[in-house]
Amino acid sequence: MPVLELKDYENVAGSAVIKEIRELGEKLEGYSVLHINSTKLGGGVAEILHTLAPLMQEAGLLVRWSVLEGNPDFFNATKQFHNGLHGQPVKITGDMMESYLATARKNRQLVAEENDLVIIHDQQPLGLTAFRSESGGRWLWYCHIDPRYAVPAVWYFLAPMASACDVSVFHLPEYARNLPVLQYFMPPAIAPLSDKNRDVSQEEYYSVLKKLGIDPEGPPVILQVSRFDRLKDPVGLIQAFKLVRKNRECRLILAGGSADDDPEGAAVLDDVRLEADNDPDITILALPPDANLAINVLQRRADVVAQKSLREGFGLTATEALWKGKPVVATPTGGLAHQVLDEKTGLSAKTVEETAAQVDRLLADPELGRRLGAKGREHVRLNYILPVYLRNWLKLINLINS
């Protein structure tokens, strides 16, 4: 994909946002920012940094992005920390903590040079805070997950490092933690011109559906795109679908990663297959990790998009669907409650029965779906697209330097 510039976003974001970005950027001309995370490829943070970093640079800042290098022991440890931050029971050993700290020591040269602002993305690079005195600027920790259910063993290991920063940033105000630093809130964003979200041509649309074996015509489609994870409640969605289908003809598509390398994902997929029981109206699609255009086209094919999560950090799949003007039925949890405003930008549902009733309403009344979808797209355009995210970053950087 070609490197996009600020002007390319003018049509989607509006010229006022782009102008504001340029003005905020002017105040930060030459201000040096170092983003640090732990992977160049894969995952939402890397995806957003690939598009955010060049735009921040274009706005006038001096932007660098460094990646912490670690061995398999380190990544096993940080995977456990990640699970623990999400509230899953984990066993944290002394060896894990040592591997974490040793990796920070090995990477200390990343922060040897002075920067006006060092941004630590997620928890993996937080150990670098031990070397903070070597660089004179401010430090910011950006927590990209919902830490409300973090287990103590993990939280109390990481919290002193987060406290060694000047500022922490969480996606939502309700994710605030008791840290002795300034806290700000900034939701994530989707890249509206990426393969996952850009407009698609008719040819692309039909050819992708053909490859996926999805009928472009026929009964209405209910879709959920999500990793096969119990917290996304795919089984509950199948139950809701079966209730809806008692009244009307429709289909369900559940699309997610193949779950080959995720033992828990594979077990959830087994449960999903059991619940689906070879129902010809239910399609389970195992997608490769780079299936961006496929996800885009599936979301466009859907008549209703569901996100029946039991818990959700932010819920970018809902953002993506709303961006495509689709009516979304979602549980009002985490970021979904901020995106899917009941009866305004979508419909809320807490239980299987409520989900079925809301989906049924939308299938019975496509005009309602169109109205909610249009409002949903505008809500995303104003709040959750990349240029808005960049503007929020620049406002925040100006603020912490004032």
Binding site for ligand UDP (CB under 6 A): 44, 196, 225-227, 256-257, 287, 295, 313-317, 320
Bridge partners of residue 257, in order along the sequence: 287
| Least Å from the CB of residue 314 to ligand UDP | 5
d(Cα 205, Cα 301) in Å, to the nearest integer? 9
d(Cα 131, Cα 135) in Å, to the nearest integer? 8
SS3 letters for 253-322?
EEEEECCCCCHHHHHHHHHHHHHHCCCCCEEEEEECCCCHHHHHHHHHHCCEEEECCCCCCCCHHHHHHH
Separation of CA 103 from chain center: 26
Joined together, the tokens standing for residue 263 give 């033992």
Indicate the residue among 200 and 357 with the shorter CB distance to ligand UDP: 200
| Least Å from the CB of residue 340 to ligand UDP | 13
Indicate the residue among 225 and 305 with the shorter CB distance to ligand UDP: 225
| Least Å from the CB of residue 117 to ligand UDP | 26
Indicate the residue among 256 and 327 with the shorter CB distance to ligand UDP: 256
Indicate the residue among 145 and 164 with the shorter CB distance to ligand UDP: 145
371: Cβ contacts below 8 Å, ≥ 6 apart: none
Joined together, the tokens standing for residue 62 give 């001096």
| Least Å from the CB of residue 122 to ligand UDP | 12
| Least Å from the CB of residue 229 to ligand UDP | 7
| Nearest to 107, CA basis, from 33, 38, 160, 32 | 38
Separation of CA 1 from chain center: 20
- Strand ranges, E, within 57-106: 62-67
| Least Å from the CB of residue 381 to ligand UDP | 17
Indicate the residue among 40 and 105 with the shorter CB distance to ligand UDP: 40
d(Cα 143, Cα 123) in Å, to the nearest integer? 7
Neighbouring C-alpha atoms within 13 Å toward the C-beta of 250: 28
| Least Å from the CB of residue 119 to ligand UDP | 20
**How many beta carbons lie within 10 A of that of residue 62, not counting itself?**
15
Indicate the residue among 44 and 87 with the shorter CB distance to ligand UDP: 44
Name the DSSP class of 38: S
Indicate the residue among 189 and 244 with the shorter CB distance to ligand UDP: 189
| Least Å from the CB of residue 294 to ligand UDP | 9
Cβ contact 99:73 at 8 Å: yes
Indicate the residue among 232 and 381 with the shorter CB distance to ligand UDP: 232
